[in-house]
C-alpha cells in the first residue's frame, strides 16, 4: 500500500469528481509496481496489462493514452463494463478531468500538465465527457454477460450506436464463482449427499446464532445483498410473508448503504416484518454486521434452500451464481446476466436450475410476480423433499451448473496473451 498525496485525496475532490479518485489510485499503483524502480526520466522496462474495472476508473484509459505517461509505453489497456448506470450514464466535466490530470501529473509523475498539454491531446471538446468518449482509448473492451449487453441496447440508443462502431473490440466473458468459494462450498455441501450438508449447516447456524426457534428440517429462504433500491429491498416484507405462509424461515444478510432514502425503506421493511402477524411463530434472522457476516456467511449460503434475488438490474448476478455453488435454488427477475446463469423451470426433467420472472412493470407488479414465483418454487421443493433421492439429484444439478473459472478464464487468459504479444 502506498500513501496517496493529500492533494489527490478523496476529500480534495468535489462530489462530481469523486469517481476520478479511483483513477488516481489506479495510476498511483501502476507507478509503484516495483518499489525498487524510480520512474523519473528513464523509460520503464515493464510490460503490463492494465485491467480497468467500471467507469470509476474509466478516465485512467484516457490518461494513459494522453502521452502524459510516456515512460510507461509498454502497456495495453483492457476495460470491463460492470454496471448499467456506470456505462450508460457516467459523464465527467472538462474541469473535473483537468483538475484530476493536473494533480496526478504534477504530484505523481512530476510532469507539466497544462490545459493545452493534456486536454487537447485527449480531444475533449464537449461540456461533458461520456464513458464512450473515454472507451475509444481501450485496446480491449469486455462485458461480464450477454444479458447485460442486451439490456443496455434496449435501454440506450447511444449505446447501440456506439456498439455498431466499437463492437469489434467487445468480448463477452461471463464472470465466474471464485475457486476459493467453490472449495468452501464443496467442503460443506458434498456431491454425494448434498441434502445432508444442508441439514448440518442449518444446525450449526442455529447454534452459532443462539436461535432455538428453528429446526434443521425447516425450509430456509435467504435474501442476500446491499440494502438499496436497486437490489429490491422494498420487497423484503412481502418475501417474508410468502416464506412464512409456506412454513419457511427467512434470513436477510447484507450491507447498509449511505443513501438515506434506501435506509429509510429498509427500516420500514424491518418494521413491517416485526409487526407482522407471523413474527411470533415464523423465524426471521437479520445479519447486517460485517463481523457476523464473515463468521456465518458461508453457513447462511449452505443452509439456504432458496435464494431470493429481487434486483432491478444485474450486470452478472454473483449472488445467483454463488447460490448454485451451494445448491440453493435461485429465484430472480429475467434481467441482465441473471438470464445467462439461470435456466428457468419449465418442467421437472427439463434441466432447470432456478426460476425467473418478468422484470418489467411497477414495483407492485414485480412484487406480485416475485412472490408468485416463490410460492411455485417452494411447492416444488416440498415435493422434492418427499423423495430424498430425487432431491439430491436436483441439488447436484444446481452445483454442476454454477459458472466456474474453467468456463471463462481461458477466454480471459487468451485476451491477455494476445495483448502481451502486441506490447
Tell me the per-residue pLDDT of 2-17, one tens digit each, with 9 for 90 and over. 444 454 444 445 545 6
Alpha carbons 333 and 218: distance in angstroms, whole number: 25
| Residue 14 domain-assigned (yes or no) | yes
Residues 164, 203, single domain; the answer is no
Q: Does some domain include residue 389? A: yes
Q: Contact, 365 vs 159, CB < 8 A?
A: no
pLDDT of residue 299: 96
Number of domains in the chain: 2
Q: Is there a single domain that holds both residue 242 and residue 302?
A: yes
**Residues 161-215 pLDDT 10s:** 888 887 778 999 998 999 999 999 999 999 999 999 999 999 999 999 887 666 7
CA-based nearest residue to 325, from 348, 350, 307: 307
Average pLDDT over residues 256-264: 92
Q: Which of 255, 54, 272, 275 is nearest to 143 (CA)?
A: 54
**Three-class SS state of 33:** coil
144 pLDDT higher than 80? yes
Same domain membership, residue 305 and residue 244: yes
Q: Are both 267 and 170 inside the same structural domain?
A: no
Residue 87 maps to a domain: yes
Let me know whether 68 and 114 are in one domain.
yes
CA 181 – CA 390 distance, rounded (Å): 26
Q: What percent of the chain is predicted at pLDDT more than 70? A: 76
214: in domain: yes
Q: So what's the pLDDT on residue 223?
A: 98
Helix (H, G, I), strand (E, B) or coil at 286: strand
- Cα distance between residue 52 and residue 297, in whole Å: 29
Cα first-last separation, the chain = 27
Specify the CATH number for the domain of residue 91. 3.40.50.2000
Do 144 and 217 lie in one domain? The reply is no
* 135 and 238 assigned to the same domain: no
Residue 1 lies in a domain: no
Same domain? 349 vs 206 = yes
Tell whether the model's pLDDT for residue 148 goes beyond 70.
yes
pLDDT at 330: 98
Closest by CA position to 12, among listed 21, 25, 2, 1: 21
Task: Answer whether residue 59 is part of any domain.
Answer: yes
Domain hosting 390: range is 179-403
288 compared with 347, residue with greater pLDDT: 288
Count the residues in the chain: 423
Residue 253 phi, psi dihedral angles, 5° rounding: -135, 125
Residue 136 is predicted with a pLDDT of: 79
Whether the Cβ atoms of residue 209 and residue 253 lie closer than 8 Å to each other = no
pTM for the structure as a whole: 0.85
Q: Is residue 204 part of a domain?
A: yes
Residues 140 and 221 in one domain: no
Q: Are residues 291 and 159 in the same domain?
A: no
- 219 - beta bridge partners? 248
- Is there a single domain that holds both residue 144 and residue 26? yes
Q: Are residues 185 and 154 in the same domain?
A: no
Q: CB neighbours of 144 closer than 8 A, spacing ≥ 6?
A: 80, 81, 82, 172, 173, 174, 175, 315, 316, 337
Decide if 349 is inside a domain.
Answer: yes
Whether residue 244 is predicted with pLDDT greater than 90 in this model: the reply is: yes
Amino acid at each position: 500500500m502506498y500513501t496517496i498525496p493529500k492533494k489527490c485525496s478523496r476529500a480534495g475532490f468535489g462530489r462530481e469528481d469523486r469517481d476520478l479518485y479511483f483513477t488516481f489510485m489506479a495510476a498511483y499503483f501502476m507507478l509503484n509496481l516495483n518499489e525498487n524502480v524510480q520512474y523519473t526520466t528513464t523509460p520503464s522496462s515493464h510490460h503490463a496489462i492494465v485491467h480497468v474495472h467500471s467507469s470509476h476508473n474509466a478516465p485512467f484509459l484516457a490518461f494513459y493514452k494522453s502521452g502524459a505517461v510516456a515512460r510507461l509505453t509498454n502497456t495495453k489497456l483492457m476495460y470491463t463494463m460492470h454496471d448499467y448506470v456506470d456505462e450508460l450514464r457516467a459523464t465527467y466535466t472538462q474541469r473535473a478531468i483537468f483538475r484530476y490530470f493536473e494533480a496526478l501529473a504534477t504530484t505523481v509523475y512530476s510532469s507539466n500538465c497544462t490545459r493545452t498539454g493534456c486536454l487537447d491531446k485527449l480531444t475533449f471538446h464537449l461540456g461533458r465527457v461520456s464513458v464512450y468518449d473515454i472507451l475509444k482509448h481501450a485496446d480491449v473492451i469486455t462485458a461480464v454477460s450477454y444479458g447485460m449487453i442486451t439490456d443496455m441496447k434496449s435501454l440506450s440508443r447511444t449505446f447501440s450506436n456506439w456498439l455498431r462502431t466499437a463492437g469489434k473490440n467487445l468480448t463477452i466473458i461471463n464472470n465466474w464463482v471464485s475457486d476459493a468459494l467453490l472449495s468452501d462450498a464443496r467442503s460443506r455441501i458434498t456431491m454425494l449427499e448434498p441434502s445432508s450438508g444442508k441439514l448440518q449447516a442449518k444446525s450449526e447456524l442455529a447454534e452459532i446464532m443462539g436461535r432455538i426457534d428453528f429446526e434443521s428440517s425447516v425450509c430456509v429462504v435467504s435474501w442476500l445483498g446491499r440494502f438499496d433500491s436497486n437490489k429490491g429491498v422494498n420487497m423484503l416484507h412481502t418475501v417474508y410473508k410468502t416464506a412464512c405462509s409456506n412454513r419457511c424461515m427467512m434470513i436477510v444478510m447484507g450491507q447498509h448503504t449511505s443513501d438515506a432514502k434506501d435506509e429509510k425503506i429498509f427500516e420500514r421493511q424491518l418494521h413491517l416484518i416485526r409487526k407482522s402477524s407471523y413474527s411470533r411463530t415464523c423465524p426471521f434472522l437479520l445479519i447486517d454486521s460485517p463481523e457476523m457476516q464473515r463468521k456465518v456467511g458461508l453457513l447462511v449460503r449452505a443452509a439456504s434452500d432458496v435464494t431470493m434475488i429481487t434486483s432491478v438490474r444485474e450486470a452478472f448476478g454473483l449472488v445467483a451464481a454463488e447460490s448454485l455453488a451451494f445448491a440453493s435454488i435461485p429465484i430472480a427477475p429475467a434481467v441482465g446476466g441473471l438470464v445467462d446463469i439461470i435456466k428457468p423451470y419449465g418442467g421437472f426433467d427439463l434441466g432447470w436450475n432456478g426460476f425467473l420472472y418478468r422484470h418489467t412493470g411497477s414495483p407492485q407488479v414485480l412484487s406480485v410476480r416475485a412472490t408468485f414465483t416463490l410460492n411455485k418454487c417452494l411447492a416444488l421443493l416440498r415435493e422434492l423433499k418427499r423423495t430424498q433421492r430425487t432431491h439430491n439429484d436436483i441439488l447436484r444439478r444446481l452445483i454442476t451448473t454454477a459458472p466456474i473459472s474453467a468456463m471463462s478464464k481461458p477466454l480471459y487468459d487468451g485476451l491477455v496473451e494476445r495483448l502481451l504479444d502486441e506490447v
